[in-house]
C-alpha cells in the first residue's frame, strides 16, 4: 500500500542526504519520481545536502496545488512512480493535505523530509500537519550533536553567533555562519540558556574575575 512517510529530525541529521539516496535508489531501478522542495540552501529548484550532493527539483510556490500539479504532469504523459518533498516544514498545511491525497487517490508513495520545530521550539505548521496525517513518522537515527557533545534536539537561529528567539518563523540561512543569520543545533540545556558555540567560546576566553575583599 502506498504511504505518506514523514522523515523528521533536527538540522544536520541527514534528511536531505536520505532524500537524495531514496531518489538515487529508485531512479537506478528505472523508476521516475517528482521532487518538490522549498527554500533549499542551494537555491531555487534544487534539492541539496550538506555533503555537496544536489539534484533538480520543483520549487513549490505559496498557493501551488501539489495534487493538481501531479495530475497535470501525469495527464501530459509524464511519469511519477513516487514523490519526494524536501523542506516540508515550509509547506502550508493545505499542501500537506494535497500530498496525502496524492497517496490516497493517485496511489503514489510520498516521502516528506523536514524539521519539526523552529528556532523558538514551536511546531512548523507544515510539520504539525504531517504528524497528524502521515502513515509513518520516522525520526532519523543520525544524531546531530550540540557543541558540548550532547545529542542536539533543538534548532537555534543566530545573528553574529548569538542566539535569537524573536523574528519571522522562516528566514533562510545556513549553519555555522557567524557574521549573518545562521542556524545551529543545540541540546535542550544550552538552547534554554541561549548558549551557542560562539558564546561558549567567548565565555571560555574571558578571564576569571577574582572576588574583591576589603583588607
Distance CA 100, CA 131 (A): 12
Question: Which residues of the chain form beta strands (DSSP E)?
Answer: 4-8, 33-37, 46-48, 54-56, 58-59, 82-85, 109-114, 136-139, 154-159, 162-164, 174-175, 181-186
Of the residues 63, 87, 132, 179, only one is catalytic, namely 87
Please list, in sequence order, all residues whose beta carbon lies within 8 angstroms of the beta carbon of residue 57, skipping any fewer than 6 positions away: 35, 36, 37, 40, 45, 46, 47, 84, 86
The answer to whether 88 and 96 are in contact (CB under 8 A) is yes
Q: Is 3 an annotated catalytic residue?
A: no
Q: 170-174: which pairs have CB atoms within 8 A and are 24 or more residues apart?
A: 170/39, 170/90, 172/39, 172/41, 174/41
How far from chain centre, in Å, is Cα 128? Answer: 13
The catalytic residues are: 87
Amino acid at each position: 500500500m502506498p504511504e505518506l512517510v514523514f522523515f523528521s529530525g533536527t538540522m544536520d541529521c541527514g534528511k536531505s542526504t536520505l532524500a537524495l539516496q531514496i531518489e538515487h535508489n529508485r531512479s537506478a531501478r528505472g523508476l521516475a519520481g517528482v521532487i518538490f522542495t522549498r527554500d533549499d540552501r542551494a537555491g531555487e529548484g534544487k534539492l541539496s545536502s550538506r555533503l555537496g550532493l544536489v539534484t533538480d527539483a520543483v520549487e513549490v510556490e505559496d498557493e501551488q496545488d501539489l495534487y493538481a500539479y501531479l495530475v497535470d504532469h501525469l495527464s501530459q504523459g509524464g511519469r511519477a512512480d513516487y514523490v519526494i518533498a524536501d523542506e516540508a516544514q515550509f509547506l502550508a498545511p493545505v499542501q500537506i493535505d494535497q500530498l496525502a491525497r496524492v497517496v490516497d487517490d493517485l496511489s503514489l508513495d510520498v516521502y516528506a523530509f523536514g524539521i519539526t520545530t523552529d528556532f523558538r521550539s514551536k511546531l512548523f505548521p507544515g510539520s504539525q500537519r504531517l504528524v497528524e496525517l502521515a502513515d509513518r513518522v520516522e525520526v532519523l537515527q543520525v544524531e546531530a550533536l550540540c557543541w558540548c557533545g550532547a545529542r542536539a534536539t533543538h534548532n537555534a537561529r543566530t545573528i553574529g553567533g548569538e542566539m535569537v528567539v524573536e523574528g519571522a518563523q522562516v528566514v533562510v540561512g545556513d549553519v555555522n555562519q557567524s557574521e549573518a543569520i545562521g542556524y545551529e543545533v543545540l541540546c535542550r540545556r544550552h538552547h534554554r540558556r541561549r548558549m551557542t558555540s560562539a558564546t561558549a567560546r567567548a565565555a571560555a576566553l574571558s578571564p576569571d574575575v577574582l572576588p574583591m575583599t576589603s583588607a
